[in-house]
């Protein structure tokens, strides 16, 4: 997966970034990365996180990275600038609280992965909306997208559906043979 952000800028500081103002150049770099993430990704999930421990955030990042899903925390003001500049159908959902983005080339993986963490980390992570196939989606719509099983699970379900009538036919034929014997 292509990386849209260079975080080495933050690694060079030994003090709290929370109280530090971001320079205009850094804001432009962040905005460019967000624009690239939104325009190149098929799905973007808006994630609200509250009281999330660093340990849990690291687990989320590692898990998402293994599924080729990007995850970035952004200031809402910068994110709004990006959304104003990018043409997306519909209206953006209301984004309250801390905001992170999960994005990727897979249509369902970002939403499904965040949904799994939403169930595990009750109240700390939640889906608040997103962009799916070029359109803004509400929280309810993104939750329904997140509940779609993976492609491998769908294939297994399909094989089971096809196999079921064949099994019943084989059982019926076997019972007919047993009655005649």
C-alpha–C-alpha distance, residues 139 and 68, integer Å: 22
Q: Which residues of 57-72 are buried (b: 16+ CB within 10 A; e: fewer)?
A: beebbeebeeeebbbb
Domain boundaries, the chain: 8-148, 150-181
Q: Fold for 8-148, please state it.
A: Alpha-Beta Plaits (3.30.70)
Q: Which pLDDT does position 46 carry in this prediction?
A: 93
For the chain, 181 residues long, the average pLDDT of each consecutive 10-residue run is 50 46 84 87 90 88 90 87 85 84 89 90 88 88 86 82 80 84 75
Q: Which pLDDT does position 45 carry in this prediction?
A: 92
> What global pTM score does this model have?
0.72
Q: Which pLDDT does position 102 carry in this prediction?
A: 92
C-alpha–C-alpha distance, residues 128 and 48, integer Å: 6
Q: Which pLDDT does position 18 carry in this prediction?
A: 52
Closest CA to 47 of 33, 61, 26: 61
Closest CA to 41 of 95, 98, 103, 101: 103
């Amino acid at each position: 997966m292509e990386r849209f952000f260079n975080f080495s800028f933050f690694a060079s500081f030994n003090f709290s970034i929370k109280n530090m103002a971001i320079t205009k150049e850094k804001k432009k770099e962040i905005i460019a990365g967000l624009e690239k993430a939104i325009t190149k990704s098929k799905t973007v999930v808006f994630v609200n996180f509250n009281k999330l421990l660093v340990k849990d955030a690291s687990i989320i990042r590692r898990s998402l990275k293994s599924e080729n899903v990007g995850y970035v925390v952004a200031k809402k003001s910068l994110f709004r600038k990006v959304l104003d500049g990018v043409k997306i159908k519909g209206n953006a959902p209301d984004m309250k609280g801390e905001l992170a983005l999960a994005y990727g080339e897979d249509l369902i993986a970002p939403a499904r992965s965040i949904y799994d963490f939403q169930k595990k980390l009750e109240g700390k992570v939640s889906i608040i909306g997103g962009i799916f196939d070029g359109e803004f989606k509400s929280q309810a719509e993104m939750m329904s997208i997140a509940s779609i099983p993976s492609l491998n699970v769908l294939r297994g379900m399909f094989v089971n559906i096809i196999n079921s009538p064949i099994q019943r036919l084989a059982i019926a034929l076997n019972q007919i043979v047993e009655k005649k014997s």
